[in-house]
Amino acid sequence: MKNRWAVVVLFGAMVLGASAFPGIRAALDGYSPYHLALFRFVIASLTLAVPAVVLRVRVPRRKDLPRLILLGFLGFAFYHVALNYGEMTVTAGAASFIICTVPIFNVALSMFMLRERLRPAAWAGMAVSMFGVALITLGENGGFEPRAGALLILAAAVAQSFYFVLQKPLLESYSAFEVVCYGAWSGTGLLLVFTPGLFEAVQRATSGATWSVVYLGMVPGALAYLGWSYALAKMGVSRMSSYLYLIPVLAMIIGYLWLGEVPTGLALLGGPITLAGVVLAGWTGQPVSVSAMPPAPGEGAPAAGCCGE
């Protein structure tokens, strides 16, 4: 019965996480990409403070602060500003498929930073995924030139990969929930440079856009994370990972229902190809983290899955 509840909670968390992509598109109707990122993570940081008090998140050691600030920049400030700018021209479903290339970049970084030898399947998976992303990019542009928004989302995926690799030493001393809190709070601090004009933006924005930002901060930004953590603790990494490849599909469906976004033929073709490459890269046991979601509080390594938001 517990596992059944874990599957229910996981599916709910996937729907909430996938809804972030169309939620961003909706919020961009009233906010600039940088004001959206700041407003969203002020709300998310305050929301995370509640479970942080309950779980007794510790004050980080002074020597770890530079790395934590870097994680906040890569995984939160840069990632979300780049993603928001990208979604100004790229549909929610296509953006979610591109973000799912994070595991591919994790594989590449493991070669350069951890000196790991890549198996042929990993190389093949990277090639297949990049081909899929190229199809999505061309489909979003409606022609044969890459759309700048898709390239920005790809840059966000690269930044997220660095975030995963660089947090690894910290997970030996801190719980994953603590690392997420530190990253979110430091990222929010860095985003404060965009404070000028935010109050005026809130006044000008439609109520729908503002409620979209509040939703993004509280639901995908905090509630979905807690759902991931609960499901991971009950189900384990390997079983959970098999479900998470549904997130881009869910994002495409929600984008259609929420925003009326109809995916192009190339996007429908490129999305599954991209995911196939991700699966191929990790199929032979290549050490690659395939999730943007960390493990439950107290566990010591990133979870297996994909496309967390």
pLDDT at 84: 96
Q: Which residues of 42-77 are buried (b: 16+ CB within 10 A; e: fewer)?
A: bbbbebbeebbeeeebeebeeebeebbbbbbbbbbb
pLDDT at 104: 74
Is 215 a member of any domain? yes
Is 191 a member of any domain? yes
pLDDT at 229: 65
Q: What is the mean pLDDT of each run of 10 residues along the chain (309 residues)?
A: 75 88 95 97 93 92 95 94 93 84 74 70 78 74 62 91 85 85 94 96 96 94 75 65 73 88 80 80 50 37 41
- The total number of structural domains in the chain stands at 1
Q: In terms of Cα–Cα distance, which of 306, 276, 279 is closest to 290? A: 306
Is 105 a member of any domain? yes
Distance of CA 211 to the CA centre of its chain: 21
Is 123 a member of any domain? yes
Residues 52, 160: Cα–Cα separation, whole Å = 23
Is 170 a member of any domain? yes
Residues 288, 42: Cα–Cα separation, whole Å = 31
Is 277 a member of any domain? yes
Is 74 a member of any domain? yes
Is 307 a member of any domain? no
pLDDT at 236: 61
Q: Please name the residue that has the structure tokens 């790991």.
A: 116
Q: Which domain holds residue 274?
A: 2-283
